[in-house]
Structure 1
Amino acid sequence: MMEECKVSIITVCYNSEAVISDTMKSVLNQDYSNIEYIIIDGKSTDSTMQIITEYKTYFDKKGIDFRVISEPDRGIYDAMNKGISIATGELIGLINSGDWYESCAISTMTDYYRKYGFDMFYADLRILRKGKSMIKKAKLQNYITTRDWNHPTTFITKLTYETFKYACHGIYDDWDLILRIRRSGRKIVVCNKVLANFTFGGISNRKNVKDAWSRFKERYKIYLDNGYSKWYIFECLLMETVKYFAA
């Protein structure tokens, strides 16, 4: 029975007092009940942990297994690996502080899992920036680009994560993981429905020529390391150019 499928949701945060509530509420308000929620905090120095603790009663009332670890880490992907290692769900989703799920996110994903089966799943994403929003569509095609994939909507089986971990090498470790999963031949399913919301910003979008050049080199190296054509250099240049000149 699909309702017996346990789903682990992991949120990585650090000094997120301004946004952590929105993320937690979105997990709390899911219309799916068999959830384990794990927060990996990087030893925040603001009121993040106080806010997290205040929500424990609400998760307990809904029967959601609520687990929190607050300790120093070696960056966001190290924290993600930490959360994945202790997750007990058959399916695992990662929603970072400041991002939030639609209330139907987990039920929609598990419905796809029941109907089609998959090793990895992702869906459409709503991106919010400067009071405006756009929908970033999920696609699965031979030409591989981050423009077709949305991390906040991604769910991967625990079994798959037992083989693939985040490398903890740079800011595009998430894309590196996706490329390795794709090359392995695992089954991937996409859903063209908005299941999560993302607020534009962060280190991967900073407008700085030096940062853009560094991101370009890292992205291109990931393509080459995973056996993709050297012609993906144009894809990497395009992505950083668009980010740099975006209004």
Structure 2
Amino acid sequence: MNDELISVITVAKNAEKTIRATIDSVLSQTYRNIEYICIVGECNDKTNIIIDEYKRQFDLKGVRLKHVSGPDSGIYDAMNKGSELASGQWLYFLNADDRLCDGVVFQRIFAEKHIYDETDCVYGNIILCSDGKKVIRKGAPVSAIYYKFPICHQAAFVRKSIIKKYGFNEEYKRLADFDQFFRMYLDNRIFKYVDVDVAYFSTDGVSQKNNIALAIEREKIHKKLGISRKKRIRRWVRYFFICVIKDNRLFYKCFFGINYWIQKIKNIH
């Protein structure tokens, strides 16, 4: 089998209402070389029973199922445990209330796997789902990480060797994946964007309180990584001007015209 092994990791807790859709989306993949790892925290519902019901289907499909249940200290502890159990060259994390867009997602992304020989992370798009509405969120250039979240982990495939090196910092309760991507970026790891819709990502239940907590934790990450607010603003302005320049020829002429005269005045003085 020439296809590289993809380890799909689902972290779950009390997910009996959504876990079937998640598992079915993994089983539907036409890509041939997959293993599925379920890390389940302490539950008081039927999550573990439901996963066990699928064992025969995974066997018939030729997909190895690894199912571990027990206490953990949080989602990123569970994700680190899943990473340790993974045998694949590529690791992919799919939450228990999310699902892959269709049965050919992995096939589309890895159809020309040779183009990823020097790549550390391949990422695509997600479809945000809330109150019955769906919105596509395209993956952004990874350089935008200074001021936004360019990559969602439900749309990212990362080499196991990279995950092993960086891991998920359990100091963070909400954004350890963002921290991981940021550290990878600062170390000049190679990211590649592909225009493929990877997963449906549920945002139901996200509150303003959660948004504030995310902002606080993001500031904490920036501070720890030595990313100043001034640098983030400068990066944002640069990105904004580049986007406008690409879309507006008149602005392009004005911007460089003004820049020309500024330089000329400086030379006079």
CA distance in 2, matches of 1:127, 1:51: 26
Deviates more, 1:78-87 or 1:96-105: 96-105
Query: Over alpha carbons, which structure has the higher Rg?
Result: 2
1:132 Cα shift? 0.8
* 2:107 paired with 1:107: yes
Which secondary structure state, in structure 2, belongs to the residue aligned with residue 69 of structure 1?
A: strand
1:11 Cα shift? 0.2
* 2:166 paired with 1:167: no
1:234 Cα shift? 11
Q: Is the 8 A contact 1:2 1:110 kept in 2?
A: no
**Aligned position for 1:137:** 138
Q: What runs of 5+ residues in structure 1 fail to find an aligned partner?
A: 236-247
* 2:160 paired with 1:158: yes
Q: What runs of 5+ residues in structure 2 fail to find an aligned partner?
A: 236-269
For residues 164-213 of structure 1, give each alpha carbon's deviation from its aligned partner in whole angstroms, at most 9, with x where no partner exists. 110111211110011011111111001112111111135xx3223xx544
Q: Is the 8 A contact 1:128 1:197 kept in 2?
A: yes
Pick closer, same or farther for the CA change 1:28–1:75 going to 2, 3 Å: same
**Aligned AA (2:190):** K
**Aligned position for 1:244:** none
CA distance in 2, matches of 1:233, 1:22: 41
Deviates more, 1:167-176 or 1:220-229: 220-229
1:233 Cα shift? 7.8
Q: Is the 8 A contact 2:142 2:185 kept in 1?
A: no
**Aligned position for 1:66:** 65
Deviates more, 1:166-175 or 1:106-115: 106-115
Deviates more, 1:146-155 or 1:119-128: 146-155
* 2:203 paired with 1:200: yes
Which secondary structure state, in structure 2, belongs to the residue aligned with residue 143 of structure 1?
A: helix
**Aligned AA (2:88):** G
1:229 Cα shift? 2.6
**Aligned AA (1:132):** K
**Aligned position for 1:178:** 181
**Aligned AA (2:131):** K
User: RMSD between aligned alpha carbons?
Assistant: 1.9
Which secondary structure state, in structure 1, belongs to the residue aligned with residue 198 of structure 2?
A: strand
**Aligned position for 2:16:** 17
**Aligned position for 1:123:** 124
For residues 34-64 of structure 1, give each alpha carbon's deviation from its aligned partner in whole angstroms, at most 9, with x where no partner exists. 1110000002110111111111110010000
Identity of aligned pairs, percent?
32
Alignment TM-score, normalising by the size of structure 1: 0.87
Q: Is the 8 A contact 2:105 2:196 kept in 1?
A: no
Alignment TM-score, normalising by the size of structure 2: 0.80
1:89 Cα shift? 0.4
